[in-house]
Amino acid sequence: MTAALIEAHPAVFLDNFNAKDLTSDILASVLTESPAMVRVMGHTKVVPLHTRTFIGITGNSVQIAEDMARRLLNARLDAHMEDPEQRKFAPGFLDHVFAERANLLAAVLTMWRWGRLTKPKPGKPIGSYEVWAQWCRDPLLALGMRDPVDRIAEIKAADPARRALVVVFELWLAVHGDHYVKATDLGVDVLKAIDDKAVVRADGSLQYSRQRVAAWLAGHVGTRVGGYALTTIGLGPPTKPVAHYKLTQDHNATNR
């Protein structure tokens, strides 16, 4: 990906990205930052990228995960048949596209120019993509198209990392409510959900990694997802406070 972007290809196409979680720090950076700083493989130097590359990704059972949820336009194609490769198409599809290139570009630029002159009513806000929303999304909304921002909540809800986090928070709330609790006092079910390598000993006690639990807690303080929020406070002697954690729930909140 980095090599293709450095070479400034007009388009990068990733095919058959099947049954994987789609998450990439590099891709997330180049889709929102200009310039994005990337490291050249095999070297210690970084180079700035002002990316204008079109990036297309196809695959079956792709799960858009983590920060990629708001950075992609997700399209689902269903041929409604078991062997879609057996469909019949007239030859020369790409030739037809190239032949109509001027007309297609004229139509797109006409919509863009109309949108810039009339400045239609804006759709829902989307951080880091304000210019894209004004230039591309809002004119299409005014012409009757659906807002792709509406699908972000759906994509986030399907994110396996978010689902796993909501499971932990649901267990936490069921065991501890909205009370402050130390890491060492977390319930067994909560610890097992956080540390998937934890095992129950013969005597019924739980063997788990305190370091893994501590790292998980530190990494998720301030997280807001599924209407839950994890906070922390230092309690005890002022000279040596002990971290206590509290989970709150906003019943009016949606997935964020």
Q: Are 190 and 173 in contact (CB under 8 A)?
A: no
Residue 253 has pLDDT above 60, yes or no: no
Residue 88's pLDDT band (boundaries 50, 70, 90)? confident
Q: What is the mean pLDDT of the chain?
A: 89
Which of the two residues, 160 and 144, has the higher pLDDT score?
144
pLDDT at residue 252, as a whole number: 60
d(CA 80, CA 82): 7
pLDDT at residue 256, as a whole number: 46
pLDDT at residue 189, as a whole number: 93
pLDDT tens, 199-244? 989 888 899 999 999 999 999 999 998 889 999 999 888 888 999 9
Residue 254 has pLDDT above 80, yes or no: no
pLDDT tens, 2-59? 888 888 888 999 888 888 888 888 888 888 888 888 888 788 888 898 888 899 999 8
Residue 255's pLDDT band (boundaries 50, 70, 90)? very low
Instruction: Determine what percent of the chain is predicted with pLDDT higher than 90.
Output: 47
